[in-house]
Amino acid sequence: MTIEINLLPWREEQRQRRSKRFYVALVLVALVGLGGGYGATWYYDQQLVAQQERHRLIRDRIAQLDRDIRAVSDYEAQIATLKRRIGVFQRLQAERPQTVHVFNALAASLEEGVHYANLVRQGDRLRLTGLAEDNRRVSDQLRSLEASPVFDVPVLSEVESTGERRRFNLSVGQHMPAARKKEVAP
């Protein structure tokens, strides 16, 4: 007796099962690939959003620092202005005794018959305009100023006759005593 076994239908079924498994695996691999691609895209999108947020935060901080730098520059300008003003006030405060000293010396050196009409101070120089009864009184006044320890040698620039009086212009340098110079020095 011969037994005949037909393996063709079984092979055909096995081939169909393998094809079906292959297609299922292919679909699963495609789905995993699409899912992985979508996951990678989503991850990189999230990284991009986080990086953009960091950049925005850095730009905001830079803008704040720029505002702070401008404020500091404004404060420094105000400080410099206030220091200049304080320096002027200190110099004026130090010159107050000198001004009194100069006026006292002018009053002490004033000769009889001479009157000062105008006094202008420019740094350490005084420009005086005055009236005298005659030319001798003008020269006496010049000698009196020169003899004062507060003043340099006076320079007479003009003498003009106005009737019985003489109008004169002179300039003279002034000295600050050594003790006063130390007070004024910044």
Domain ranges across the chain: 88-184
How far is the C-alpha of 49 from the C-alpha of 57, rounded, in Å?
12
| pLDDT given at position 5 | 67
* Chain segment 117-161, per-residue pLDDT in tens: 898 888 788 898 988 888 888 888 888 888 888 888 888 888 888
Homologous superfamily of 88-184 in CATH? General secretion pathway protein M, EpsM (3.30.1360.100)
pLDDT higher than 80, residue 177: no
Query: With the C-alpha atoms ordered 94, 96, 98, 101, is the resulting torsion angle positive or negative?
Result: negative
Q: How far apart are CA 92 and CA 184, in angstroms?
A: 9
Distance CA 55, CA 74 (A): 28
pLDDT the model gives residue 183: 47
Instruction: Indicate yes or no: pTM above 0.75.
Output: no
Evaluate whether 154 touches 142 at the Cβ level (below 8 Å). Answer: yes
CA distances from 27 to 13, 21, 23, 36 (A): 21, 10, 6, 14
pLDDT at 150: 86
- Please give the pLDDT value at position 34: 96
Task: Report the alpha-carbon distance of residue 41 to residue 64 in Å, rounded.
Answer: 34
Give residue-wise pLDDT tens across range 87-123. 999 888 877 777 788 888 888 888 888 888 898 888 7
- Which residues lie closer than 8 Å to 169 by C-beta, 6 or more apart? 127, 128, 129, 156, 157, 158
- Digit-coded pLDDT (tens) for 11-35: 788 889 999 999 999 999 999 999 9
Q: In this predicted structure, what is the pLDDT of residue 186?
A: 45
